[in-house]
Structure 1
């Protein structure tokens, strides 16, 4: 059996080996570990190519470095002292932001012979299967949990921190009272239920591309089976943001599908929706839509975040803060009925709000500009990978209102960005080859196709470049 190139192992370990990292207690923090070998690969390949738009992300990281100056400040309406927990939280986010930069540059500077586009897409598909399995575990065995090796090693004062515990303590589901009674919301193999919701929608996009669009009969059968199984934890997640994201994805597919395929896609989706509404899962969706109590909590947190951000609009406060009270009372806390109650910290209701409290309006603007710029640059890429990646960039802008990006969500967002960048570079290489004297010869097509990991089709001594070479 032919082994993959050694340079591919870090990303393979991250995506295909993610269940092992989760069981060990690293989860999304595994990126920090794997960024080291990724950086080694980059160092050996200097000079390093950088994608357009990465300067905005560099400014975002630089701004976060400056926000350390205000870690000890407290905006009006908040409480808490500068302690080890706040400093550790800031440091962890900073290292993750830097690791994301390393990962994107690493992926973009691997040749397509070392890591074909379809291989990377199918790695994301493998993580999608893991995510669906974790979601089903959360539905069928919501009490499943165990102490990870990382949790055993860490000092108790760190491992018992609620935020850290979510990252290092593997659990199948979060028990919440969203419907007025205790109900499980799947989260395995990620840090919390909302992270599972954000990630499954992105991974399903790539799973369909890798296993349906580019798959044979066996892969397509598996794709249909996994997608059908995914509906169970998707519904039980009670995650309205996820449901809206999937609706946006469906609308996007209908708008961008070719005219002859759009009606077929629409009919198939309509039939699936009718069958779903008629089934038992439809009633759970109805119950969730009738229980919008979390809207008031979010409204309070967002309003408090905006108010706090106005007092440090340029560099923010470096980390989250706790607000006095909640939308009902000046006091808030745990009860016997709800052990997890207590108002969430400011910035915990979405990446946009986290950026506002940690980096001010400047950080939020840079984040939006980075992903919106990717949508603008790659919108004309009509290949399956190009359209899927652009859809993910749109979902990022949607999810920033309701989902935190850190830890695992931003990893998937930035891998999707790297896929778009790699796709654009391959297309540019094919375009450039058409301008070389002699046209696009069979030899040149074979060279590009070999790099892309795709078969070639030729009709003579010269021919047009195959789109499959970079799809």
Structure 2
């Protein structure tokens, strides 16, 4: 793509290449550099309403770095390279995403047509579906990326960094009592795949169905049907709830013939799903709430720890002493499932409470809730889609970490909504 819009095309359309190189979710930091140069040359820079809330969130994260060496009660460990690397990566990501939002909002419609940007998100949905199918069919597929080869061991072997730079197709977990593949390609975690596929699906429908011709709509039906396979195999209840609420939101907000057609389409899709081989797997997952006890333990421990630094948090996550099964820590012969669950790892809300205190969590909620309030009256297809994504952000903060790729897609969606105004 020619002109100043090439960095966002490189990020969204070219994401499979970033993933294969080992940049993956960190690619937004790379493309933010030329975006910053373009912005600097275009001064003065327009900013969206609510922009100050994100600046305060970023400033609060800088202040929270003062607490990196502190250990709240109920946690253990010492300040090491892993904690510092994680803090630095999150700071770089928060800053890069800020630049991306400003960059998108300052490009004119001629430089980057709104529909083209929406369809770029749709292109990433196609990539996500392909990665999901790869994770279902070949869950053990992985390879060493060029970035992984170049990084020194003390950085590349860090578990957080390893998830970002080592491309894998899926995770095999015993969620149902036996090994099951959960797709994660081309993202860093299975839960990140679940969050991202739902957000991208919203934009895919807006760009390929609502604003598409016959061929594009026919392709959309096929791709969404294919997406159902990894969506069910993800065993991701948060994703399923998000999709259900998204359908309900659209039924409520659209009217006339569109509502009738939507209800008919949902009924046909539900019947087809009920008769498909995917339905029993879906029912099995609902019958086995595998992670409820783990989440209850980590959320309770996170809130208890955060009360000792409620305003600025601790800058990064901390490992809990014990887990939901035992007060001992670490794996043993009699307890292979025992370990050190990181506090703040079960949702962006809990991550913010742990890393930036209740102040950071409040700023995050206010930022996205404010976007919903300001754009609620925008009943255009893109406006409805943008408000829906902002609602999904607030839903997913209870169950999904926003880092790394989900937060990028959340803020790009915010920028699309801002541009639509």
* TM-score of the alignment, normalized to the shorter chain, above 0.5: yes
Distance in 2 of aligned mates of 1:149 and 1:85:
21
2:47 aligned partner: 50
1:310 aligned partner: 307
| Aligned CA-pair RMSD | 1.3
TM-fit CA distance, 1:343:
3.8
**Which of 244, 248, 251 is equivalent to 1:247?**
244
* SS in structure 1 of the partner of residue 342 of structure 2: coil
1:204 aligned partner: 201
Q: Does 1:296 align with 2:276?
A: no
**Which of 245, 263, 280 is equivalent to 1:266?**
263
Deviates more, 1:114-123 or 1:286-295: 286-295
TM-fit CA distance, 1:346:
0.5
1:456 aligned partner: none
> Any residues of structure 2 matched to 1:2-401 within 5 Å, and which?
4-334=1-331, 342-401=339-398
Distance in 1 of aligned mates of 2:355 and 2:92:
15
TM-fit CA distance, 1:290:
1.2
TM-fit CA distance, 1:397:
0.1
Kindly indicate whether the alpha-carbon contact (under 8 Å) linking 2:323 and 2:338 is maintained by their aligned counterparts in 1. no
TM-fit CA distance, 1:281:
0.3
Deviation string 1:152-197 (CA, Å, 9 cap, x unpaired) is 1112222222211111100000111101111110000000100000
1:460 aligned partner: none
* SS in structure 1 of the partner of residue 5 of structure 2: helix
Distance in 2 of aligned mates of 1:161 and 1:339:
22
* SS in structure 1 of the partner of residue 181 of structure 2: strand
Kindly indicate whether the alpha-carbon contact (under 8 Å) linking 1:5 and 1:114 is maintained by their aligned counterparts in 2. no
Question: Quick one: structure 1 residues 157 and 338, their matched pair in 2 at CA, closer, same or farther if it must change by over 3 Å?
Answer: farther
Matched residues, number: 421
Task: Structure 2: state its 5+ residue gaps.
Answer: none
2:403 aligned partner: 406
* SS in structure 1 of the partner of residue 371 of structure 2: helix
Question: Quick one: structure 1 residues 336 and 156, their matched pair in 2 at CA, closer, same or farther if it must change by over 3 Å?
Answer: farther
Deviation string 1:238-278 (CA, Å, 9 cap, x unpaired) is 00000000001100110011133212211220221122122
Kindly indicate whether the alpha-carbon contact (under 8 Å) linking 1:378 and 1:386 is maintained by their aligned counterparts in 2. yes
Distance in 2 of aligned mates of 1:168 and 1:339:
27
Deviation string 1:73-106 (CA, Å, 9 cap, x unpaired) is 1000000101111111111101110101100000
TM-fit CA distance, 1:335:
6.2
Kindly indicate whether the alpha-carbon contact (under 8 Å) linking 2:326 and 2:338 is maintained by their aligned counterparts in 1. no
* SS in structure 2 of the partner of residue 322 of structure 1: strand
Kindly indicate whether the alpha-carbon contact (under 8 Å) linking 1:25 and 1:170 is maintained by their aligned counterparts in 2. yes
* SS in structure 2 of the partner of residue 175 of structure 1: strand
* SS in structure 1 of the partner of residue 172 of structure 2: strand
* SS in structure 2 of the partner of residue 7 of structure 1: coil
Deviates more, 1:159-168 or 1:219-228: 159-168
Question: Quick one: structure 1 residues 338 and 174, their matched pair in 2 at CA, closer, same or farther if it must change by over 3 Å?
Answer: farther
Question: Quick one: structure 1 residues 341 and 20, their matched pair in 2 at CA, closer, same or farther if it must change by over 3 Å?
Answer: farther
Deviation string 1:53-76 (CA, Å, 9 cap, x unpaired) is 010000000000100111111000
Deviation string 1:95-133 (CA, Å, 9 cap, x unpaired) is 110101100000000111010000000000100000000
Kindly indicate whether the alpha-carbon contact (under 8 Å) linking 1:375 and 1:393 is maintained by their aligned counterparts in 2. yes
Question: Quick one: structure 1 residues 336 and 390, their matched pair in 2 at CA, closer, same or farther if it must change by over 3 Å?
Answer: farther
Distance in 2 of aligned mates of 1:180 and 1:162:
25
* SS in structure 2 of the partner of residue 32 of structure 1: helix
Question: Quick one: structure 1 residues 233 and 82, their matched pair in 2 at CA, closer, same or farther if it must change by over 3 Å?
Answer: same
Task: Structure 1: state its 5+ residue gaps.
Answer: 425-471
Distance in 1 of aligned mates of 2:38 and 2:133:
37
Distance in 1 of aligned mates of 2:146 and 2:337:
24
TM-score by length of 1: 0.88
Distance in 2 of aligned mates of 1:221 and 1:334:
51
Distance in 1 of aligned mates of 2:82 and 2:272:
49
TM-fit CA distance, 1:338:
9.6
Kindly indicate whether the alpha-carbon contact (under 8 Å) linking 2:325 and 2:338 is maintained by their aligned counterparts in 1. no
TM-fit CA distance, 1:291:
1.2
